[in-house]
Amino acid sequence: MKKVLALVLCISMLASLAAVSFAEEAVTLNFQMWSDEQELFDKLIELYTAKHPNVTINLTCTPSNDYATKLQAVVGDADLFGISSPPGLAEYVNKGAVLALDDLIAQKGTDVSGVQGTLDSTAIDGKVYGLPYKTSSWVVYYNKDIFDAAGVAYPSGDWTWEEYFEIAGKLTSGEGANKIYGSLNFQPTSMWWRVPGNTSKATNPINDDELHAWMKSAEYCKSLSDAGYQPLYEDMASDAGADYSGNFLQGKYGMFYTGDWAIEMLNTAIRNGDGFVNYDIAPLPHWDGEEAVTPGAPALLMVTSTSKHAEAAYDFIAFCTGAEAAETLLSMDYFPAWQDENTIATYCEGKTAPEHIEFIVNQTIISQVPCDALYNPAANVVKEEVSLYLLDEQDIETTEENCKARILDEVVNAY
């Protein structure tokens, strides 16, 4: 047995040597991404091809809202592509469009120590299909001026959703056009009401108990509106509720929770004269009696099963996930998937706005979305039903029952 293993190892080493010489031939890779990532990957491709002059990478960036649509059409023609969260990975693995990477990782001896956690959480049937390059996590953003005016101390560490509610109440004041809300919410068709549920590790609505935790979460979000601490959901319908950074910049909202991406959005807007708000961040609250965690999701890169240059494509995504690319990500204010003490220190280094940037990196991140192809269709059903609850058209029990019945009907039994 050992001999066989040794032989296999030898052969694979030879194969990798052969691959190195093979890689010297001119190779062109077709790479599909969404438009937010254009700048980042322009830079990573430039760095990579400087060292591998025989490789040309044709990057196509599609507007983010329509990337999922485009990918459905073009995935068979691509060599590699990106996905912004694990359910998308599972969807394409299910279709048979993605190459399993375990062999290549072993063969090339790729160092994946910095991303092992993500690889474990996104493995499907024990196989690795995608390598992560960045990750995100959630925090609370708050308007310091509103806290000062209400004489409330800034949230500065471990706190609970119950406390968030209480503080939102203290920050709320005024009437009509001058009303200050303690908390900011999103449009009822967004899924962000579920985030308090995520901190209880409820991430997949296909499981009844997790769905139930989501319902509790929806109730919590609605109770903030019903108490008058945040606008009513009916006032946030459509796009007006989607522009949360623009709304926060109006200076009428005490707190809101969203991902680390809002730091860059707020800082850019303030720099461009799109409004000003004196803000800082705090960790995401947790439920009383539970431990403090924050949901997060990695963005991943995949090699297609139809690629004729799978090895070359793999070599590039391995580069993007590694420690060297992490430095580039850091220099552009992304939080890289590759995490060691060095990257964490660099992320916080020299950042003054927000003041407590370290909260981003000092949280325990749990996976916000399961690596399950049925997640997106199921979440769509829940989104429709919960929007009715948030708009006061259906009670929470009916909502939960409808979700269960429809997920069974339209998702689980439909495939």
Partner 1 sequence: MKTKGTKNTIIFILVLIILVVLALFMLFPFVWMVLGSFKPKDELFAVPMNLLPVRWKYTNYGDVFRKIPFANYYVNTAKIAVLSTLGQVVTCSLSAYAFSKLHFRGRDALFLLYLGTMMIPYQVTMIPQYELIRNMGLLDTHFGLILLHWFSPFGVFLLRQFMLSIPDSFVEAARIEGANDLRILGSIILPLSTSALATLVTLKFLDSWNDYTAPMIMLSSKMKYTLQLGLRTFQQEFGVEYTLILAGTTMSLIPILIIYIFAQNYFIEGIAAGGVKG
Partner 2 sequence: MAAKKSVSAYRKSQRKTAILFLLPNLVGFLLFVVYPVFRAAIISLTNWNGFKQMDFVGVRNYVSLFSDSTFIISLQNTLIYTIVTVPLSIAFGIVMALLMNLKIPGIKVFRTIYFLPQITSMIAIGLVWSLVLAKYGPLNQILMALGNSDPPKWISSTKYALTSVEIVSIWRSMGYNAIIILAGLQGIDAVLYEAAKLDGANAWQSFVHVTIPMLSPTIFFCLVTQMISSFKVFDIIIAMTQGGPGRATNVLAYFVYNKSFVDSRFGYASAAAFIMFAIIMFFTAIQFYGQKKWVNY
Q: Considering the rule CB under 8 A, would residue 228 count as an interface residue with partner 1?
A: no
Q: Are strands 27-34 and 253-259 parallel, antiparallel or unpaired?
A: unpaired
Q: What x-and-dash track marks residues 27-56 binding partner 1 by CB under 8 A?
A: -------xxx-x------------------
CB of 245 to partner 1, least distance (A): 5
> What does 75 bind: partner 2, partner 1, none (CB cut-off 5 to 8 Å by kind)?
partner 2
Q: Considering the rule CB under 8 A, would residue 310 count as an interface residue with partner 2?
A: no
Partners of residue 207 on adjacent β-strands:
none
Using CB under 8 A, pick the residue from 239, 288, 341, 349 that binds partner 2: 239
State the distance between the two ends of the chain, measured CA to CA, in whole angstroms. 42
Q: Considering the rule CB under 8 A, would residue 324 count as an interface residue with partner 1?
A: no
Tell me which long-range contacts 395-402 makes (C-beta under 8 A, separation of at least 24).
396/215, 396/218, 396/219, 399/215, 399/218, 400/211, 400/212, 400/215
CB of 88 to partner 1, least distance (A): 12
Q: Which stretch binds partner 1 (CB under 8 A): 146-154, 196-204, 247-255, 365-373?
A: 247-255
Q: Considering the rule CB under 8 A, would residue 270 count as an interface residue with partner 2?
A: no
Using CB under 8 A, pick the residue from 1, 4, 73, 153 that binds partner 1: 73
Cis peptide before 354 (omega within 30 of 0): yes
How far CA 39 is from CA of 76, 81, 86, 97, 383, in Å, comes to: 25, 16, 22, 26, 32
Q: Considering the rule CB under 8 A, would residue 69 count as an interface residue with partner 1?
A: yes
Cα–Cα distance for residue pair 372/379, rounded to 1 Å: 11
Using CB under 8 A, pick the residue from 93, 249, 317, 386 that binds partner 1: 249
CB 302 within 8 Å of CB 83: yes
Q: Which residues bind partner 1 (CB under 8 A)?
A: 34-36, 38, 58, 60-66, 69-70, 72-74, 77, 84, 177, 235, 239-240, 242-247, 249-251, 258-259, 261-262, 265, 269, 272-275
